[in-house]
Amino acid sequence: MKAMPWNWTCLLSHLLMVGMGSSTLLPRQPPPPSPKRSFVTFRGEPAEGFNHLVVDERTGHIYLGAVNRIYKLSSDLKVLVTHQTGPDEDNPKCYPPRIVQTCNEPLTTTNNVNKMLLIDYKENRLIACGSLYQGICKLLRLEDLFKLGEPFHKKEHYLSGVNESGSVFGVIVSYSNLDDKLFIATAVDGKPEYFPTISSRKLTKNSEADGMFAYVFHDEFVASMIKIPSDTFTVIPDFDIYYVYGFSSGNFVYFLTLQPEMVSPPGSTTKEQVYTSKLVRLCKEDTAFNSYVEVPIGCERGGVEYRLLQAAYLSKAGAVLARTLGVRPEDDLLFTVFSKGQKRKMKSLDESALCIFILKQINDRIKERLQSCYRGEGTLDLAWLKVKDIPCSSALLTIDDNFCGLDMNAPLGVSEMVRGIPVFTEDRDRMTSVIAYVYKNHSLAFVGTKSGKLKKIRQCGPKTLPREAQASAHQGTGSTPGLGLPASASGTFVPHSSRGQVVLPSP
């Protein structure tokens, strides 16, 4: 899919900075003076960093997942409640964890790093999963962070047993008359026999119910999960799937990932390891995960390839941007940040791009792939399956937009990359996080950068020229991809993991 022509970016009606010191963005002409902004700041304990931040859409209250603590803050960043989650005696090699059975490994005082933080609106509770004890979760009452439950006695209760740099993402699918579902996606850290990389779990009404976090379906042969086959690690010993973002839309749940692959450079017979960004899609109602499809995504501008996904956010098009893209205002768009290249996951290059994907176009590409596979064309083509060369099987059936797979031709990979629409590129200060929303028919995107800048980007029409403002930054306080840039009615929060602080621009 080719990128559409693009000529509309209006950059930086605001450029917000946090901290002290100074930094100039080197505009071609001196910028006009901009009013000085003040900030409300919350700082945690000196030794702790922040990992996740969610905002209650109904109250504006902020829930902050930190090392050894969960905070509840008011919308102006005042502490309302604190809940301690660690440290405790543990060893990551203890499986099951020592709270279930005696562990022969040496125990040390271990921090509990928050790995996932979700609001369960239907039951008015917070789901907080940490790194202790193979990743057990607490269910906390939203009002006062009182512990409603902490299931830990079954293997299904260990959701995020990854090292501190691993990724975990959760998506809640809610029902009016049934228990909700929790889709969990996690890096497995070399332990595929313990942890599925994606699974769907029960969210029972009773936080202490025996079935909390049980697989939605499980029998001797089939379960609501995808596991990485152990023979994958013979090809790529450090293989894992790193989850960057997740969301639900229509009848599907989506996760955006980074995955290592072995490829042969042009003209070479040897293979090298690169990272590929992929979107994974599953049907909400697919209890056997036969609908699993993944498609590579990336972005290109001026001959430069941006392939390493840094962050993503789902938003609507809005009336103005919809006219430009030829879509409806209510259509879903994915705002994504990529860094240049494919080879450096942990030390990405500073060159980065903000790109937009039209979700319907991705779904159309997946439908085309499903239709061709069920005509018997090609192979399963899933890079992390050693048996990826299994031919597709032919079947006479109609595949529409909501097709959820059969117990054949699954899991399935798409080989051709879907390219996003490049909106804005940054060569010096890598973009690391993004949010977007529609305001007065305009689609606005806020991106956070490595050095702590917050840039506001909006569609202004083809004749608008970019404008940049001077501001100051404190080096080393960049916004963190896992934290994102949550927004509320009162503004956009800028969380900084390394400094343990959250900043809110004052009105």
Q: Which helix (H) or strand (E) holds 79?
A: strand 79-84
Using the 3D structure, point to which of 227, 253, 279 is the last residue of a domain: 227
The number of domains in the chain is: 2
Beta bridge partner(s), residue 116: 129
Say yes or no: 162 and 207 in one domain: yes
The Cα 506–Cα 35 span in angstroms is: 12
The answer on 293 and 204 residing in a single domain is no
Beta-bridged to residue 35, according to DSSP, are: none
Name the residue range of residue 50's domain.
45-227
Identify the bridge partners of residue 218 per DSSP, sorted by sequence position.
Answer: 223
In this structure, the answer to whether residues 200 and 254 fall within a common structural domain is no
Statement to judge: residues 222 and 296 lie in one domain: no
Is residue 322 within a helix (H) or strand (E), and if so which, with residue range? helix 319-325
Cα dihedral 419→424→425→431 (10° resolution): -100
In a domain, 491, yes or no: no
Strands 412-413 and 39-43: unpaired
From first to last of its 507 residues, what are the pLDDT tens digits of the chain? 444 444 444 443 344 433 333 333 334 444 555 555 667 888 887 767 888 999 999 999 999 999 999 999 999 999 999 999 999 999 988 888 888 889 999 999 999 999 999 999 999 999 999 999 999 999 999 999 999 999 998 989 998 776 666 689 999 999 988 889 999 999 998 888 889 999 999 999 999 999 999 999 999 889 999 999 988 888 888 899 999 999 999 999 999 999 998 887 777 788 888 899 999 999 999 999 999 999 999 999 999 999 999 999 999 999 999 999 999 999 999 999 999 988 766 677 889 999 999 999 999 999 999 999 999 999 999 988 876 689 999 999 999 999 999 999 999 999 999 999 999 999 999 999 999 999 999 999 999 999 888 888 875 443 333 333 323 334 445 555 555 555 554 455 556 555 556 666 544
Do 301 and 353 meet the contact criterion of CB atoms below 8 Å apart?
yes
Contacts of 52 (CB under 8 A, 6+ apart): 64, 65, 114, 116, 117, 482, 483
- Do 375 and 320 have their domain in common? yes
Please check whether residues 394 and 446 belong to one and the same domain. Answer: yes
Which domain-ending residue is among 180, 208, 227? 227
CB 502 within 8 A of CB 62: yes
